[in-house]
DNA sequence: TTAAAATGAATGAACGTTCATTTTTCATAG
DNA sequence: CTATGAAAAATGAACGTTCATTCATTTTAA
């Protein structure tokens, strides 16, 4: 047997329940009692792992964000070309947002509401750095447009979030083919 | 004197207060009592204009969305070329998101959380139609890439929302020059 | 004078958090 | 291997607060 310690299992269950309930109801409309019930734990137990409700959502945010960038940069190597590196990262981000749907939707909600406090937000922003570095390298090599990295991000990576939102409402779904199409548009928008 | 009737003034004050407070605290963390206080109205008065809290936020959403598309398409004429028409609309949307900041942030929060109910959401989506029509016309003329309109939207319009978010956190600010730059990238990403 | 608009205290439900109690864990003794 | 008991983990009923909503009363408008 190689299971996690019980306490870790409970914490994980609480994190998972928080993600799911916040996605469905919003943070302030999900009571601690419901989080506890979904995690099959007593309400009091939450306070063994988290200081309070705000601390709970902050911790979940930071952990999901870390999992996201772990996934995004999992196969990143310094010795890849800028083009290869960007393609890997872009595809990873797209895969995460479309497959790890609940986690991605949770991040999107946190990034667009005041439920996360500013320190945790800052913490989350750090994870973008490797991508910004790569883009900068591309600019030095004359491969990437010489504009603000935020501009590059907005036109190449940010659109993926739109697809995620559309997918939730079943309005538009990225298939294998138009993922390729989308990637080409992304690269196109930043390459010189 | 050409003022609005008193009752309309109160309703307007309530709508304004809702936008501001929801932006700062999130919907479920803004009590009706605070909305009333900011609007300088009694809590009971809210229920003369809105059925309940959900109805309040739904109505505000729909009205702000309508104001947004009114602004976006204000100078749209059928006889403009696709390129001219797109440029007008793009610039209007950018202007709205950066100048009518509170309204735009409110929409962003509604579009990324479960606070709005599905019928109101559908209602809000309709407003995009003129843009989709224009893009389709462009595709027929062979000017616009023959891909899903959602793909075109994601890469040309959606990035503006990112700039708005960055502006709020004072991380990156669109200036007159890089608005031009951004527009060029947007057009570039959809033109054939 | 009367109808409409507005008020704000009152109500009851729901929530976050606490803490006295119970259950589980586990090192050690028998 | 089993029994023991103390420490750690978990429980859930209870508490105090906050909130959305109501409605008897007052104010305003015409």
Cβ A162–B165 below 8 Å, yes or no?
A: no
**Nearest residue on chain B to A162, alpha-carbon basis:** B154
- Could you tell me where in chain B the CATH 1.10.357.10 domains are found? 58-190
Cβ B155–A151 below 8 Å, yes or no?
A: no
B160 contacts in chain A (CB < 8 Å): 154
- Could you tell me where in chain B the CATH 1.10.10.60 domains are found? 1-50
- The shortest CB-CB distance from A188 to any of B111, B181, B189 is to B189
d(CA B165, CA B114): 19
pLDDT tens by residue, A165-192: 999 888 898 888 899 999 999 999 999 9
CATH 3.20.20.140 for domain B58-190, yes or no, is no
Average pLDDT of span B33-55: 98
A162 contacts in chain B (CB < 8 Å): 150, 153-154, 158
**Nearest residue on chain B to A29, alpha-carbon basis:** B28
Percent of chain B with pLDDT over 90: 84
pLDDT tens by residue, A24-41: 999 999 999 999 999 999
pLDDT tens by residue, B83-96: 999 999 999 999 99
Query: Has residue A3 got a pLDDT over 60?
Result: no
**Which SS3 state, helix, strand or coil, does residue B85 take?**
helix
pLDDT number for residue B125: 85
A181 contacts in chain B (CB < 8 Å): 147, 151
pLDDT tens by residue, A50-63: 999 999 999 999 99
Mean pLDDT for chain A overall: 94
Size of interface A-B (CB pairs under 8 A): 110
A184 contacts in chain B (CB < 8 Å): none
CA of B33: nearest nucleotide by C1' is D19
Written in H, E and C, the secondary structure of chain A is CCCCCHHHHHHHHHHHHHHHHHHHHCHHHCCHHHHHHHCCCCHHHHHHHCCCHHHHHHHHHHHHHHHHHHHHCCCCCCCCCHHHHHHHHHHHHHHHHHHCHHHHHHHHHHHCCCCCCHHHHHHHHHHHHHHHHHHHHHHHCCCECCCCHHHHHHHHCHHHHHHHHHHHCCCCCCCHHHHHHHHHHHHHHHEC
Which of A37-51, A54-68, B47-61, B111-125 is predicted least confidently? B111-125
Is residue A4 within 8 Å of A12, Cβ to Cβ?
A: yes
* Residue among B180, B187, B179, B186 nearest B163 (CA): B179
B189 contacts in chain A (CB < 8 Å): 155, 185, 188-189
CATH fold label, A60-190: Tetracycline Repressor; domain 2 (1.10.357)
Interface test with B, best of A185, A188, A191, A192 (most B CBs within 10 A): A185
Supply B142's token pair: 């062979």
Cβ A112–B114 below 8 Å, yes or no?
A: no
pLDDT tens by residue, A79-116: 999 999 999 999 999 999 999 999 999 999 999 999 99
pLDDT tens by residue, B144-160: 999 999 999 999 999 99
pLDDT tens by residue, B15-31: 999 999 999 999 999 99
pLDDT number for residue A122: 87
Span CA (B42) to C1' (C7), Å: 6
Half-sphere exposure of A188 (CA within 13 A, CB side): 18
- Main-chain phi, psi angles of A191, to 5 degrees: -70, 150
pLDDT number for residue A2: 36
Written in H, E and C, the secondary structure of B151-164 is HHHHHHCCHHHHHH
Cα four-point dihedral sign B50, B55, B56, B60: negative
pLDDT number for residue B1: 36
pLDDT number for residue A4: 56
pLDDT number for residue A5: 63
* Residue among B96, B116, B101 nearest B166 (CA): B101
* Residue among A85, A86, A8, A65 nearest A41 (CA): A8
CATH fold label, B1-50: Arc Repressor Mutant, subunit A (1.10.10)
Query: In angstroms, what is the C-alpha Rg of chain A?
Result: 19
Average pLDDT of span B126-144: 96
Cβ A147–B178 below 8 Å, yes or no?
A: yes
Span CA (A53) to C1' (C16), Å: 8
Cβ A154–B148 below 8 Å, yes or no?
A: no
Average pLDDT of span A118-137: 92
Span CA (A6) to C1' (C26), Å: 14
Is residue A174 within 8 Å of A94, Cβ to Cβ?
A: yes
């Amino acid at each position: 047997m190689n299971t996690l310690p019980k306490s870790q299992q409970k914490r994980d269950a609480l994190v998972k329940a928080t993600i799911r309930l916040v996605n469905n109801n919003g943070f302030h409309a999900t009571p601690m009692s419901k989080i506890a019930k979904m995690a099959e734990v007593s309400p009091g137990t939450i306070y063994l792992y988290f200081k309070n409700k705000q601390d709970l959502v902050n911790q979940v945010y930071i952990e999901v964000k870390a999992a996201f960038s772990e996934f995004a940069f999992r196969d990143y190597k310094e010795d890849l070309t800028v083009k290869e590196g960007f393609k890997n990262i872009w595809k990873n981000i797209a895969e995460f947002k479309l497959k790890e749907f609940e986690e991605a939707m949770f991040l999107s909600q946190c990034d667009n509401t005041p439920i996360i406090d500013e320190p945790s937000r800052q913490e989350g922003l750090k994870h973008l750095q490797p991508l910004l570095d790569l883009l900068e390298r591309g600019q030095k090599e004359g491969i990437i447009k010489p504009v603000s990295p935020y501009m590059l991000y907005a036109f190449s990576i940010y659109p993926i979030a739109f697809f995620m939102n559309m997918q939730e409402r079943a309005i538009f779904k990225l298939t294998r083919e138009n993922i390729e199409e989308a990637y080409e548009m992304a690269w196109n928008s930043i390459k010189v």
